[in-house]
Structure 1
Amino acid sequence: MSGEFKKSAIFALSGLILCGGLYTTVATLAGLGVFPEQARGSLIYQDNELRGSTLIAQPFTGDTYFHSRPSSVAHLPTDTGGSNLAPSNPELRAIARQLSQSVSAREGVALADIPVDMISMSGSGVDPHISEQAAALQIPRIARARGLAQENIAALVAQHTATPSFGVLGQSRVNVLTLNLALDNQ
């Protein structure tokens, strides 16, 4: 029995070293080589201060900033996830109604003119992007609050709009963090 135990222990230890150590090291180094920015968290620093990640939404508030999508996890990357409420759930409908009314009042638009991403939560709860329509909806409020021309803010939105990946995957989107940082740098 001792010989079988020794063989099993060697096999388990070899598997641990190969799969737990060697494989993860090679995969990490390959990720750093192929996607260095993403592998390091896509972090943005200004004046040696961490401002955020382009991959994780920030909870911007106030009239001078573009607002992110609503989050069921308060934009906490450690608690990612959706609300798991079905479209037929009365609680989800109440949340959507409250968000719609809040956005309508803040932006001064009719309920029917609100882009769906301004009232719907992403599956992760930390989606860093909004649609071009959601960004355009917020331009007048931000222009008034900052005393800037709407055309200047619209130009910033255009500069920070990413097209669909490979020209066909997904939709055009605006990263809220990079857009708000650009606003602050004006």
Structure 2
Amino acid sequence: MVLVLVIGFQGPKSCNRLIVDEALTSHFRAIVMATRLTDAKEVLLIGDVNQLPFIDRLNLFEMQYIRSNLVATVTKELLCTYRNPMDVAHAFNEVYSGIYSSVTRVQSLRMERFSEANIPKNLPNIFYLTYAQVKKESPIIQGFGKGEEIRVLTIHEAQGLTSERTVIVRIAAKRKMHDSVTRRGGNNAPHRQLCVPHKRR
């Protein structure tokens, strides 16, 4: 897909099937643009079933969800993570049986309650993540996301990205699924040093 968007076409400008690997880490508008450029009759999005999927709330497309082994033969299942510390790999074991980490750091996750005053704003290479687009405004107004390699993102936007540290800011505690170990550790950008989910008092 990147080749289509960056380089363009050398041959015919249409195809029957466009295959997008790691689709759930791609911006959906980029997928739509590649689909339009290729005039594809069918788009096959390959992604991790445990990642947050794209949901077509406007019913613009006919979408079907199927297992990858119905489309292609799975020859090997890769279980080593090179980006996440050991405690994250342990949390992932809930959904990825047998996963292990090559990163030697043992503990990187911790849960803290906060007031606006005690979240570090000036650490380098840090992501501040929220669960929804509308929740990004509050941290930005408070001065988060300023500086080199410091960003305020939604968890969807952070998929596929890596930072040294990740702070997950949850302003409203309405959904119990956000309390699960897998959700706290899994649905954030892979981090190399520290991930701190924060809950507002």
Q: TM-score, normalised by structure 2?
A: 0.25
Larger Rg: 1
**More helix per residue:** 1
